Amino acid sequence: MNNNKFQNMGDVFLKSKKYWLIYLLLITIMGLSTISKRNFQDPTFEILIFIIVAILGILAIMFYFSNNNRNELHKVAFVIIIIFGIMTALIVPICDVSDELEHLTRAEITSQGVLIPHWTGDDVGIDRLYNQSDEGKYSNVLNPDVGFETIKSMFFFSQNREKTVFDTDGDTNKIDYSKFIDGSAFEQNPFFGYLPQAIGIFIAKLLDLNVIWMLWLARIGNLICYATLISLAIRRTPVLKMPMLAVACIPIAIYQSASASIDSMIIGLGILAISYFIYMIKADEKSIELKDVAIFTVICLLLGLCKLTYLAFIFLLLFVPRKNFNFKNVIPVYLGSISIVSLIGVLWSRYSTPTLMHSWRSKLNWVNSADQISLLIHDPMFAWKFISQIFTTDLAWMIYGIFNFFSAGSKYHYANTYYLIFVMLLTFLFAVLLLYPENNKFTKKARLGSLLVLLIVYVGTCFVQLLTWSSVGYIQLGINTRYFVPLIALIPIILTFKYFDWDKSRFDNYSIVCIIAFMAALILSFTTKYY
């Protein structure tokens, strides 16, 4: 039996040989495009990481070929996200992801069993709470008794942002449980968005690990949750499985999923919601049960609570053909689901919006939502400037962001221009999203409905940023590609090109190689930048 097993592995190795050779060629080209003069001084670590991702990539491709004949792409999705996600979680510097320090603080508070952070003190004198540094960041230094109670070890992460474990000695210290007050902890976000990270931190505490493991296990817990959501999404959708996987593995998505950020939950739930939508519109007549609608409603609700503009995903329900449902009174069910999600969303907004006062965001004194709205109403040219920018400059920046990583501190990754990798990735996404050889005909209703929802989420998110982030009269929105990754998964539904009669099996084989190669490029780019 063991001989048969080794023989099968050998057969898979030979069968996939052409594809993993292509993978090695791709990561060599992309890896070389990220290096600088500094990397030649001592390339030992860079070479080691290259060898590791090369071996992991070959094993991942072999795993795909051992499963692709059994319609088990969801298993492959889970494995490759975990493999390369863990590498990303370990290689990305301390709290490097945008707002990761604050997300980690909220996760630590959640790990204590506190689902809703408790603001200590009142709002009187909140103007004296934060001190603005030269870099424009705020810290709770003027009133250390007002804020959210966490533990002293969080101070380590605050002091070592963007450093690697080779740049600090404090990572080997034990966890310090002394009381520490932090001025910001994402109080406005729902608790379930931090449960995976909190479980990781709880395990680090339970095993009495070094302090760095609070971050690493929080990231890995978040990653496992993301991989599970994506695996469920690919398993549920009857078509477009490979394009769905491609979107889920875009480097910016892996970068977020391998962090302590709630954006991982948003991207995962968003892609899962779209997979259920595809499942319902492609279902047989009278096959969709009430429980399917309930599941879709819950997914949209959880997604919307994490980011309110995504509540609009519930409107996708309106574009599912009525003939697909096996129960009567479809319209009341539509309206009931939309009403429940909308009502809970409004109530959550009324709770969460005031909590923004309990963070450094309250001190962006150049922001005034009321004045910004007044300007939009009374100055049509300003409104036109806003609309035109989000569909030109900002949209171009969003596209470039698929391989462009926003840092939490001063060493912004977009100072590094990875043009070659960006062009290669954009070309691949164009092919897999728009030219995928699968004869899927979506109705005009489904296509227009998906486009409408995409526009609502995109414009709505930009509008919220205009009111809560940009100074009055200006349109620096502070938006990032990570906000809109789930929307990319709607593109194959909206733009249904003529069916290309290519070999789907071979197309999938090349696609999985590219997906894995771009995740490897993410790891290599951080290696050559920081190590």
Per the domain annotation, does 178 fall within a domain? yes
Using CA atoms, how far apart are residues 443 and 429, in angstroms rounded to an integer? 23
How do the residues of the chain divide into helix, strand and coil, expressed in percent and rounded to 5?
A: 65, 5, 30
**404 touches 411 (CB < 8 A):** no
Q: Count CB-CB contacts under 10 A for residue 400.
A: 16
212-236 vs 100-111: helix crossing angle, rounded to 10? 90
User: Could you tell me the pLDDT band of residue 478, with boundaries at 50, 70 and 90?
Assistant: confident
Residue 131 confidence (pLDDT) above 50: no
- Rounded CA gap, 91 and 269, in Å? 25
| Confidence check: pLDDT of 125 > 50 | no
Examine residue 119 and state whether it is found in any structural domain, yes or no: yes
User: Which pLDDT value is given to residue 430?
Assistant: 94
Which helix H or strand E contains 181, and what residues bound it?
strand 179-182
Under the banding of pLDDT at 50, 70 and 90, the label for residue 173 is very high
Give the pLDDT score at 252: 95
Confidence tier at 365 by pLDDT (50, 70, 90): low
129: helix, strand or coil: coil
The pLDDT of residue 130 is above 50: no
Total-model pTM: 0.92
What total number of domains does the chain contain?
1
Q: What is the pLDDT of residue 364?
A: 60
Distance, in Å, from the CA atom of 104 to the CA atom of 148, rounded to the nearest integer, reads: 13
Give the number of residues written for the chain.
531
In whole angstroms, give the CA distance from residue 180 to residue 148.
Answer: 8
Residue 144: what pLDDT? 55
Q: What number of CA atoms fall less than 13 Å from residue 229's CA on the CB side?
A: 27
CB 205 within 8 A of CB 197: no
Instruction: Establish how many alpha carbons lie within 13 A of residue 327's alpha carbon, considering only the half-sphere containing its beta carbon.
Output: 12
CA distances from 475 to 157, 376, 464, 483 (A): 32, 11, 11, 17
Percent of the chain scoring above 90 in pLDDT? 65
Burial group, residue 338, by CB count within 10 angstroms (0-12, 13-18, 19+):
middle
Residue 140 has a pLDDT of 46
Q: What pLDDT sits at residue 184?
A: 84
In terms of pLDDT, which residue wins out, 360 or 280? 280
Handedness of CA 160, 164, 167, 173 (dihedral sign): positive
In this prediction, residues 471-490 reach a mean pLDDT of: 89
User: Residue 325 is encoded by which pair of tokens?
Assistant: 């449902």
Is 365 a domain residue?
no
Does residue 168 lie within any of the structural domains? Answer: yes
Give pLDDT, residue 138: 42
Q: Poorest-confidence range of 18-27, 299-308, 466-475, 519-528? A: 466-475
Give the mean pLDDT of 272-296: 95
Two structure tokens written together for 197: 């990270």
d(CA 192, CA 313): 19
Count other C-beta atoms under 10 Å from residue 479's C-beta: 21
Residue 416 pLDDT class (50, 70, 90 cuts):
low
Whole-angstrom Cα distance, residue 433 to residue 438? 11
pLDDT at 141 over 50: no
Residue 132 falls inside a structural domain = yes
Does residue 9 form part of some domain? no
Backbone angles phi, psi at 352, to 5 degrees: -75, -35
Of 64-73, 104-113, 230-239, 476-485, minimum mean pLDDT range: 64-73
Look at residues 359, 284, 471, 321 and name the one whose alpha carbon lies nearest to residue 105: 359
Q: Element (H or E) spanning 131, and its range?
A: strand 131-132
User: How far apart are the C-alpha atoms of 211 and 220, rounded to whole Å?
Assistant: 15
Distance CA 132, CA 409 (A): 14
Structural contact between residues 140 and 130, judged by C-beta atoms closer than 8 angstroms: yes
What residue type is assigned to position 374 of the chain?
Answer: S
Task: Give, in order, the Cα–Cα distances in Å from 186 to each of 107, 116, 136, 499.
Answer: 10, 10, 19, 46
Residues 6+ apart with CB under 8 A from 171: 94, 156, 160, 165, 210, 211, 212
Residue 138 lies in a domain: yes
pLDDT digits (tens, 9 = 90+) for 296-323: 999 999 999 999 999 999 999 999 999 9
Label residue 4 by pLDDT band (50, 70, 90).
Answer: low
Q: pLDDT band for position 211 (50/70/90)?
A: very high
Return the higher-pLDDT residue of 306 and 499.
306
Average pLDDT score, the chain: 88
Under the banding of pLDDT at 50, 70 and 90, the label for residue 354 is confident
CB 472 within 8 A of CB 375: yes
Instruction: Write phi, then psi, for 525 (nearest 5 degrees).
Output: -65, -35
Two structure tokens written together for 75: 């298993």
pLDDT, mean of residues 31-58:
92
Show Cβ contacts of residue 407 under 8 Å, excluding neighbours closer than 6 positions.
96, 97, 98, 162, 413
CA distances from 328 to 189, 261, 335, 379 (A): 37, 42, 14, 49
Taking each continuous run of H as one helix and of E as one strand, the counts in the chain are 21, 5
Using the predicted structure, report yes or no on whether residue 5 has a pLDDT greater than 60.
no
Residue 394 has pLDDT above 80, yes or no: yes
Give the Cβ contact number of residue 172 at 10 Å: 10
pLDDT exceeds 50 at position 204: yes
Tell me whether residue 371 is in a domain. no
Comparing 241-245, 283-287, 371-375, 474-478, the range with the smallest average pLDDT is 474-478
Q: Is the pLDDT of residue 133 over 50?
A: no
pLDDT of 278 reads 97
Enclosing domain of residue 195:
100-214
| Lowest-confidence pick of 1-10, 166-175, 405-414 | 405-414
Which of 4-18, 106-120, 217-231, 410-424 is modeled with the greatest confidence?
Answer: 217-231
Radius of gyration of the CA atoms of the chain, in A: 24
d(CA 217, CA 204): 7
